[in-house]
Chains A and B, each alone.
Chain A
Amino acid sequence: MNELRTVLRKNVREYGMYFALALIMAVFTILTNGRFISSRNMANLLNQTGYIAVLAVGMTLVIIIRHIDLSVGFLSGFLGAIAAIALAQWNWPAWAAILLVLVMGTAAGLLTAFPVARLGIPAFVASLAGWLIYRGALMLVTAATGTIIVPNEAFNAIGTGYIPDLFPSETFLPELHKTTLLIGAIAIVLFILGQINDRKRKMQYNFEVLSNGLFAAKLVFISVILGFITWILAGYNGMSWTVVIMLAVVLVYDFITRRTVIGRHIYAVGGNPEAAELSGINVKNITMLVFASMGFLSGLAGILFTARLKSATPQAGTLFELDAIAAAYIGGVSAAGGIGTITGSMIGALVYMSLMNGMNLLGTDISLQYVIRGLVLLFAVIFDVSTRKRRG
């Protein structure tokens, strides 16, 4: 019990986030008589979260290296419109349109990074210029046609479709999506094996690990949560392609930030750029890389959003950048740089979108919704700062 308390206290910030998400979900579930937690709504919530979570992941890295990118909202709107044009007017296949948009996004990120990294222009200004430019570009490409309807089913499936059920059965759990269950089961097994393996290696090196009891409790606890999420998703249409893409982005970026040399370099640049430079890290290149990744993810978010609406509109992407920034801050990214996690930002995005989704279910007035979202952001950051102070 004592050990549990110290572990909790040490990671109060991290666990606090999960707790906040659970609390918000529980409150909405009660207030909506269970409608919030229904499989259908959960699927909807995760699909809504997709493009914001993807942007928040990229923004996390940008904020970690002490910059900001305001251009990503209209950039993803603009790139979504480009995809729509490629599909609707040029009759490109879906893969070609996707490739084009991702390449353009990466290029746009590099373009924003150039004045920041090479000329020392503040990212706020450089990306504000991008905000204006891409907004104009979006209006320009949609000026002739207005909203562009995307006719390509394969493309739209990214935002609206679900992974196929490979094992349909009329007798075994007929209501549930078996492939999703299988993926969930595999995820749980991989998680448990990974944790055990990690613990073994730590013990080989004689490092401190959790006691057997607490370790088992942790495994059971997280497995149950994973199982629960799987069960809920399987109860509707299964996992959507949006969720698959979002999870893939989070897993890849989480791995990069926590385990790779590039990840260490990014945190070092954020923690102290001068020390990083003198340790042989090329700060300019890291800056270019992080903005390029932000551009790439903006393209991806544009695809997700356009596919979800099955169309591109002249207003697409409005304020996405601020939603992504809010999600990252709620997720514990430090404005001073050097601190923040990918999983944190994803949870932040989920918290943010759960609030929106839940209040929409309750029919809360939109004006009040904004106020509440603002208060939650403020509270999260205050909580963040105060817990960090206590540890420091």
Chain B
Amino acid sequence: MSDHILEMRHISKSFPGVRALSDVNFSVKRGEIHCLVGENGAGKSTLMKVLSGVYPHTEFEGSILFNGKEVKFSGIHDSEKAGIGIIYQELALVPEMTVFENIMLGHEIRRGLVVDQNQMIKRSEELLKRVRLNINPTIKVKDLGIGKQQLVEIAKALSRNVSLLILDEPTAALNEDDCDNLLQILRELKQQGVTSIMISHKLKEVLSIADTITVLRDGQTICTLDRKADKVDEQLLIKHMVGRSIENIYPPRDTKQSDEVVLEVRGWNAYDAALGRKVLNDVNFKVHKGEIVGLAGLVGSGRTELARSLFGNPDGYQLQGEVYLKGQKCRFRHPGGAIRSGLAYASEDRKRNGLILIQSIQYNISLANLEGVSRNGIVNEELDKQTANEFVKSLLIKTPGIHQLVMNLSGGNQQKVSVAKWLFVGPDLLIFDEPTRGIDVGAKYEIYTIMNQLVAKGMSILMISSELPEILGMSDRIYVVANGHITGELEARSATQEAVMQLATQY
């Protein structure tokens, strides 16, 4: 049919030991926004890499028809030339270069031998207007927030005259405002005739923007739903994604309140000498034993800074105030000290500073507690392997074995490895920064279940999250952070999204 801009037929792709895609059919109509959903490891990203030529045509089976003609891409360069633009989960901008240099990177406008700066700036301005980004193209990318960087990426793709734009989880790292803005821009691009494929885990935004939704599961197409013809809701999508219906996204938990205070922070201030400003201002809060405390707030409000300043202060802030862990006043000079005293911090960015991607599951799990598998400084290899195997079993980490490198795991399984690492330390308090970022619904449920099991055993969790439903669904109490201040404390039972948002936007 000619109204299809893209048809992928019988696509199969294997990696050593894994069949990532098996006989996938995927068609996109011209001018629509087509969302691709599925659990992590379902094959969404792989399918898009097949399409964009990251995996050359010799490395998979099946055929791709683009604009009705069969295409064989040998690399991303070919697909770009054909008019396909892809924007990855991890942004591919050069932070030290300016916005216009980034936009025009790879096909600079030339005049003779030299690049024509003015032409490039002018062209960039036009493109930025299309994504409604009102910035000076000569500022450096690193000075932009992540939401604006995302838009620069889109402008960059548009500069290639793309007719098909692929976005791999574009909103994963964005706050709600930036998300809404991005979706609006996608709608406008649709008006201008750009077809988009969007991968996303956020089902609400999928439902708000998609014309068509394709669900992948275990490397197979489960169904393709037309928003006009079919009645689609979140429950249905989840059912298709996981192959079972999840009645409740947040598993129930018996809340046994304890009066025992695990962590108390008083008059806590942090000054960042590099930024030249206070990142935390007179912060006071408490966490009880067996409690999940939610730390809500917008991206950049100081939540992560708070966590890191407590956790041995690796950023070297100048600190003031008092921290009591189980009643003991303490000040850690290094994360190691914090860990030994019973504090753990699972970072928001697993790939950047949470895990060692080039190492095995086994090495990652015991990394923060090598004392636990060694004697006199010598690692007991067998004990280490046994430990890893036990965690793989108990946390249901999907992997061929503990020797698998962490970079080969899906996001959800990587997060489980990160959790396993901290469980093996056995902390009193786990600071969990964005526990489910970039994780699919099924794995989310498993992470939540694990969290509940942990607090049932008497551990406490301080959960930082940008997703309001998660904050409300999982926490016992909520503190809201805005601009380095704690602007309010709420009981989760009675709190609403609106109340949290209001506190989060106070400054």
Chain A minimum-CB-distance residue to B16: A391
- Find out whether the CB atom of A272 lies under 8 angstroms from the CB atom of B357: yes
Which residue of B336, B359, B366 is within 8 Å of A267 (Cβ)?
A: B359
Let me know if A201 is at the binding interface, CB within 8 A. yes
Question: Which of A274-282, A306-314, A341-349, A367-375 lies at the binding interface?
Answer: A274-282
Q: Which stretch in B96-104, B216-224, B375-383, B499-507 binds the other chain? A: B375-383
Does A259 reach chain B (CB closer than 8 Å)? Answer: yes
Q: Residue B119 at the A interface, CB < 8 A? A: no
Smallest CB separation, A272 vs chain B (Å):
5
Q: Is the CB of A272 within 8 A of B407?
A: no
The interface residues of chain A, by DSSP majority, are classed as helix
Q: Which residues of A contact B355 (CB under 8 A)?
A: 272, 275
The interface stretch among B124-132, B345-353, B484-492 is B345-353
Evaluate contact between A204 and B382: CB separation under 8 angstroms: yes
> A277–B335 contact, CB under 8 A?
yes
Whole-angstrom CA separation of A274 from B314 in the bound complex: 9
Interface string of A138-154 (1 = CB under 8 A from B): 00000000000000000
The docked-state distance in angstroms from the alpha carbon of A338 to that of B386 is 24
In chain A, positions 195-225 with a C-beta closer than 8 Å to chain B are 201-202, 204-205, 207
Q: A261-B371, A264-B367, A338-B359 are in contact. Are A278 and B353 (CB under 8 A)?
A: yes
Which secondary structure dominates where chain B touches chain A?
helix
Q: How far is the CA of A104 from the CA of B377 in the complex (A)?
A: 27
A174: interface (CB < 8 Å): no
Residue pair B354, A262 in contact (C-beta under 8 Å): no
Determine the chain B residues whose CB is within 8 A of the CB of A263 once the complex forms: 379
Task: Decide yes or no: A392 and B405 within 8 Å by CB, A261-B371, A281-B336, A338-B358 being known contacts.
Answer: yes
Contact across chains for B363 and A278 when beta carbons are under 8 A apart: no
Per-residue CB contact flags for chain B residues 324-337 toward chain A (1 = under 8 Å, else 0) read: 00000000001110
Q: Report yes or no: B368 in contact with A279, Cβ–Cβ below 8 A.
A: yes
B311 within 8 A of A: yes
Asked whether any CB of chain A lies closer than 8 Å to the CB of B179, the reply is: no
**How many residues in B have their beta carbons less than 8 Å from beta carbons of A?**
38
Chain A interfacial residues counted at CB < 8 A? 29
Are the C-beta atoms of A280 and B339 separated by less than 8 Å? yes
Say yes or no: A277 contacts B359, CB within 8 Å. no
Quick check: is B10 within 8 A (CB to CB) of the other chain? no
Q: Nearest A residue to B334 by beta-carbon distance? A: A282
Residue pair B352, A274 in contact (C-beta under 8 Å): yes
Q: How far is the CA of A278 from the CA of B354 in the complex (A)?
A: 7
User: For A275, A277, A282, which residue has the most chain B Cβ atoms within 10 angstroms?
Assistant: A275
**B382–A282 contact, CB under 8 A?**
no
CB-CB under 8 A from B336, the residues of chain A are 280-282
Given contacts A259-B378, A274-B353, contact A268 B407 (CB under 8 A): no
Contacts A264-B367, A268-B359, A271-B357 given; does A278 touch B379 at CB 8 Å: no
Complex CA gap A338/B355 in Å reads: 13
CB-nearest residue of chain A to B386? A205
CB pair B377 A262 closer than 8 Å: yes
Q: How far is the CA of A274 from the CA of B357 in the complex (A)?
A: 12
Known A260-B377, A268-B367, A274-B353: A279·B335 in contact at CB below 8 Å: yes
**Chain B residues within CB distance 8 Å of chain A:** 16, 311-312, 314, 334-336, 338-340, 345, 347, 352-359, 363, 366-368, 370-371, 374, 377-379, 381-382, 385-386, 405, 407-408, 421
Pairs of residues from A and B, 5 with the lowest C-beta to C-beta distance, nearest first: A274-B353, A280-B336, A271-B356, A279-B368, A280-B339
Q: Mind listing 27 A-B residue pairs with CB under 8 Å?
A: A204-B382, A207-B382, A207-B385, A260-B379, A261-B371, A261-B379, A264-B363, A264-B366, A267-B359, A267-B363, A268-B356, A271-B358, A274-B353, A275-B347, A275-B354, A275-B356, A277-B335, A278-B353, A278-B354, A279-B421, A280-B339, A280-B368, A281-B336, A338-B359, A339-B358, A392-B405, A392-B408
